[in-house]
Each structure stands twice: as C-alpha cells, then as structure tokens.
Amino acid sequence: MSPPREDAVLSTMQDVPLLISRILTHGSSIHGTSQVITWTGEAEPQRRSFAEIGARAAQLANALRDELGVRGDDRVATLMWNNAEHVEAYFAIPSMGAVLHTLNLRLPPEQLVWIVNHAADKAVIVNGSLLPLLAPLLDKFPTLEHIVVAGSGDRSVLDGAHAQVHEYEELIAGRPTTYDWPELDERQAAAMCYTSGTTGDPKGVVYSHRSIYLHSMQVNMTQSMGLTDQDTSLVVVPQFHVNAWGLPHATFMTGVNLLMPDRFLQPGPLAEMIESEKPTHAAAVPTIWQGLLAELTAKPRDVSSLTQVTIGGSACPPSLMEAFDKLGMRVCHAWGMTETSPLGTVARPPAHAVGTDEEFAYRLTQGRFPAGVEARLSGPGGERLPWDGESAGELEVRGPWIAGAYYNGPDGEPLRPADKFSEDGWLKTGDVGTISPDGFLTLTDRAKDVIKSGGEWISSVDLENALMSHPDVAEAAVVAVPDEKWGERPLATVVLKEGSTADFESLRAFLASDVCKIAKWQLPERWTIIEAVPKTSVGKFDKKVLRRRYAEGELDVTKL
C-alpha cells in the first residue's frame, strides 16, 4: 500500500493500533467477573475471574522480562493443555511484545524438535503432566534458556537440564499485577503456529496483533459463533490448535466464560463437566463428539445446557449432526485452517432457509464466508470458476487474517511456495469444492486427491461415496494414476464385503446408473480389490500409500 497523497483529505480519526493487550485490558476490567474454569479431575474445578487472569498475566509478563530476560520479539513457547495458565500466557506474551509459540503436543518428537529450533524459542512454559514428553528432547534445544513448569507432575525428569527451571506459581508470585503494555505496531508478530504438513518440513504461520484482533471481532459477530456473556464455552479444541479457534481472545472481548478441560479430554470427564458446569457452547473436532455421543448413549446425563456446538477440523457426518440435534445440541459447521486464523466459514443457514427443508442441507455445507474473507475458485487450468454451486475448483482466500506466507525460509525470507500462494498473494487452501451463489462453501476433495483428467477434474470423494453406497462394497478409495492420453485417470480400489460376488463391470455399471449418476467420462477404467484401505493415524484414508503401491506395481489392476 502506498501512503495517501500529501494534499489528500486526512481522516481525523485516532490512530489506535489493534493490540492483544487491549483485548486483555478490556476483558479483565469490563468483564472482570467472567470466569476461566479449569477442570482438575477433583470435585471442584479451578475458577479464576478475568480480573485475576489480567493481574496474573501482568505478573507473568513482569517475570518473563525481569527474571527470564525476555525482550523484543523473543519467542516464548507453550506446551500446555487448555487451562487458565495457558490463557495467561496467551495474553502476557504477545501483549509485552514477545511472540507466543504454541507447541502441538501430539506431534512426533522429531517434528517438535524441528519446530522449536526453527522458531528459536528462548523459553517454554510447560504443564507438569507433559514433562515426560519434553524432557527427553531437551538436549536438542540449543536456544532454550528457560523452562517454566505449571501444574502437577514429576519435576525430577528435568534434573540435569541445561535450561534453567522455574516454577510458574513461584515465578509470578509477588510481582506487580500491572504492566505498562507497550504501544506496538499492530502488524507486529503476536503468535505463531506450525502446520504439520504430511510432506516436507512444518511451516510456521505468524499471526499479527491486527490479524488476531480482527479475527476475534469476527468470532463475536452474530453470523459467526456469536456468543454473549450469558454463555459459557467448553473449549475442547486445543489451544495449540490454531489458537483454539480464536476463543480465548474472542471471549475476552465479550465476557463469555471459558470452560477448559485441561488434560481430561476423554468422553467420561467431558460429559461430567458438561453436566456440572453447564456450558451453553462447545467447540471441537468430530471425533470428540463421536465419542461423547457414545458416552451419553451408554450413560445418559443432563447435558441440556449445551445448545450450540461448533464443529470444525473435518466435516461432521450427517448422522452425527442428526444425533446431536435430537439431544438438543445444535451443531454448527465451521471451516478453517492454520493459515486462516482459523475461521474461514461458518454454516449458519441463510434467512430464507431457516425452518424449511433446505436448512439441513445448508448446515451440512462448510458454511458461508464472513465479511473479511474473500474467496474464489480456481479450476484445473487456473481459470476462475463461477459461484454456481456446481463448478468445483480449488478454494483460494484473501483477507486480513489469512496468511500470505510462511515464517523464515532457508534464506531467512518469508516462504511463499507456489502451490500455497498465488502470484497475487491469495492463499491456495488445497481444498476443492463448490461455492453457491449466496456464498456457501461445500468441500469435496483435497486438491492433491482430485484426478486431473484431460483438463477437467474428477472428484475422488464423489466416486468413493458412490462406490460405498453399493451393497457389496465395504470400503473404497479412488486415487489418481498417470495416464498417457488424459494426464491422470481414476483408479478404483475396492474392499468387498465378505461373501460378495460383485465384479468390476457391475460396479462400473452401478456408478453410471441412475442411482449414482456419475458422468461417463469420469468412470474409472482401472480397478483393483484390496483387503483394507490404508489409514493415517487420525483414521483418514491414506491415499499416498495407495499411489505408491500402484507406482511400485504392488496392485493387481484390471483395466476395463
């Protein structure tokens, strides 16, 4: 952006930067009596008011500066569950001008090591219960000078660590409960989060104060999560997972109470905390809800307080949504990714669909783009596709809380890989889908999973769903394989049910039939029977294994 012309009419507005310290100050004063409730596994949870969080965040910032020597944009990592101390770190670290680096405790150790070193973290705040994860890696963290331990857990595993060890409560005790938060540039780094790509090194997304502030406002808008201070939000989605979908920041703007499960993420304790603390809202990925549903079926509890459930991370199966509806918990789909802060869409049905047959279909989409997120679809040849609800393309997005690069490439410059960022700076999400004329996104495939055949795309997910609706098919995965004439063509890998006698010709005819209505040019020629579809650690189809097995000639393929 160029500065305004010298002779231009100047705005007479105050130039007040959008800073996380302002969110903290607002929440801990205006909403000082709202609470962060942390589950402890004991009879009584820990309760801390927003005013106390504000005072303790200031104490933490004073300690980090005066005792640990945190300065400027030093990175301070957290390896923590969702709890009050993690909320304190969320506010203290960016507000003092340093950079919060949330570590994903589910990453393989070698990725954790890579990430901590890439960010050059100077200190880490760690929950005592997670020390067994951290301790064995300490030798590999040359930049790490300080370890601050919060909560219960055996400290002896840290004996002999080269970094200085501090007790969280002792460290902050007695320090001033205010801090003269600096007036930072709102575009300065506030927090960072690495994506755990399945290929290549993890990539760091660095959020600014501005992006977090704007994203928080968006979360509080009526068409987003839209909570008020009458709500209590059960934040199951981890604080190390894209800022817990923005909830800790957003709730401090509006006084929404936070219910934090700490390490008690099993269905039993979750059901228990819902029954006793009566949250009105909860946010988590589908697998958590799948487990909770089973728990509630096996052992019913009063969960009537919980009327609004935000589901993201992956698509919510219709059956799960219906089951939750029956329990009075209304599921609201949302879509986003680490690079989008994360809220990119929220599936609140449009006014005309509310109360009609269309409503459920709208709720099953990924949702509608809010003001602040611009979207476009890019076809196989890079052409722009219309928002007609039918043309499928790769989703590209732009906006003030969308990443335009990754942190520090090998040359120290921001990294802008061509498969992730367009030449004009939009984020290529890697997600393929359609957009309706009224801006609802329906995702069908990951871009790497679509089949690029003769300049057109074939959805592997559509073919899989069609195949799996056949009574003889247990599972099916469709992957792209090279084809001399078309570039790529689909390979259907099928797991038949026991005793099935279906052959490939009949399956192919089924796809073409009026039941499935797959276009002729999209029908697979290549077919193979497999024993099971390989899966990733989180249960998704692992298609790169299938592609490799095909490439290495391990599959017995029939060509029709």
Give me the residues paired with residue 458 across strands. Answer: 451
Which residues are within 8 A (CB) of 426 and not within 5 positions of it... i.e. 6 or more apart?
376, 396, 397, 398
Give me the residues paired with residue 117 across strands. Answer: none
Select from 152, 164, 196, 228 the one that contacts a second copy (CB under 8 A). 228
Considering only 184-192, 316-324, 474-482, 509-517, which stretch makes contact with a second copy by CB under 8 A? 184-192
Of 77, 123, 74, the closest CA to residue 104 belongs to 77
Nearer to a second copy, 14 or 198 (CB): 14
Select from 229, 272, 277, 472 the one that contacts a second copy (CB under 8 A). 229
Select from 168, 407, 510, 527 the one that contacts a second copy (CB under 8 A). 407
CA distance 97 to 101: 13
Subset of 239-268 contacting a second copy (CB under 8 A):
252-255
Nearer to a second copy, 33 or 469 (CB): 33
If binding means CB under 8 A, how many residues of this protein chain bind a second copy? 91
Q: Contact between 208 and a second copy (CB under 8 A)?
A: yes
CA distance 490 to 494: 13
CA distance 498 to 472: 8
Kindly report whether the peptide bond that precedes residue 342 is cis, defined as omega within 30 degrees of 0.
yes
Nearer to a second copy, 90 or 387 (CB): 387
Q: Contact between 197 and a second copy (CB under 8 A)?
A: no
Subset of 103-122 contacting a second copy (CB under 8 A):
none
Binding mask 5-34 for a second copy (x = CB under 8 A): x--xxxxxxxxxxx---xx-xxx-xxxxx-
CA distance 65 to 384: 50
Residues designated catalytic: 195, 339, 452, 457
CA distance 51 to 29: 6
Considering only 146-154, 365-373, 463-471, 495-503, which stretch makes contact with a second copy by CB under 8 A? 365-373
Binding mask 50-79 for a second copy (x = CB under 8 A): ----------------------xx-x----
Kindly report whether the peptide bond that precedes residue 300 is cis, defined as omega within 30 degrees of 0.
no
CA distance 443 to 429: 11
Report in angstroms how near the CB of residue 226 gets to a second copy at its nearest.
5
Select from 110, 358, 438, 554 the one that contacts a second copy (CB under 8 A). 438
Q: Contact between 199 and a second copy (CB under 8 A)?
A: no
Give me the residues paired with residue 496 across strands. Answer: 473
Write out the two tokens for 499: 């005793």
Subset of 540-559 contacting a second copy (CB under 8 A):
none
Report in angstroms how near the CB of residue 376 gets to a second copy at its nearest.
11
DSSP letter assigned to residue 535? B
Nearer to a second copy, 250 or 282 (CB): 250
CA distance 270 to 273: 5
Report in angstroms how near the CB of residue 314 gets to a second copy at its nearest.
24
Answer yes or no: are the C-beta atoms of 301 and 328 closer than 8 Å: no
Subset of 377-396 contacting a second copy (CB under 8 A):
387
